[in-house]
Amino acid sequence: MTPLRIGTREREQVVRSLMRHQGLGRLTAQEYQERVARARAAVVAGDLEGLLDDLEPRSEQE
């Protein structure tokens, strides 16, 4: 099965979550920058996997 491509909306949802977590002190500036770069470069949904796993329960990510 071919992975489904994602759009700007999906990428920006992850970026907003990362921004919130950095504001709460859960990410260093470097961690935040690295994860945002990965999120913005994501092409398929699988590219976003792992970016929020250690920050929030699965139900909040969806």
Summarize pLDDT for 38-60 with one digit per residue, the tens: 999 999 999 999 999 999 775 55
pTM of the predicted protein model: 0.86
Q: How many CB atoms are closer than 10 A to CB 26?
A: 14
Q: Give the tens place of pLDDT for each residue, 20-36.
A: 999 999 999 999 999 99
Residues 44, 4: contact at Cβ < 8 Å?
A: yes
Structure tokens at 58: 């699965």
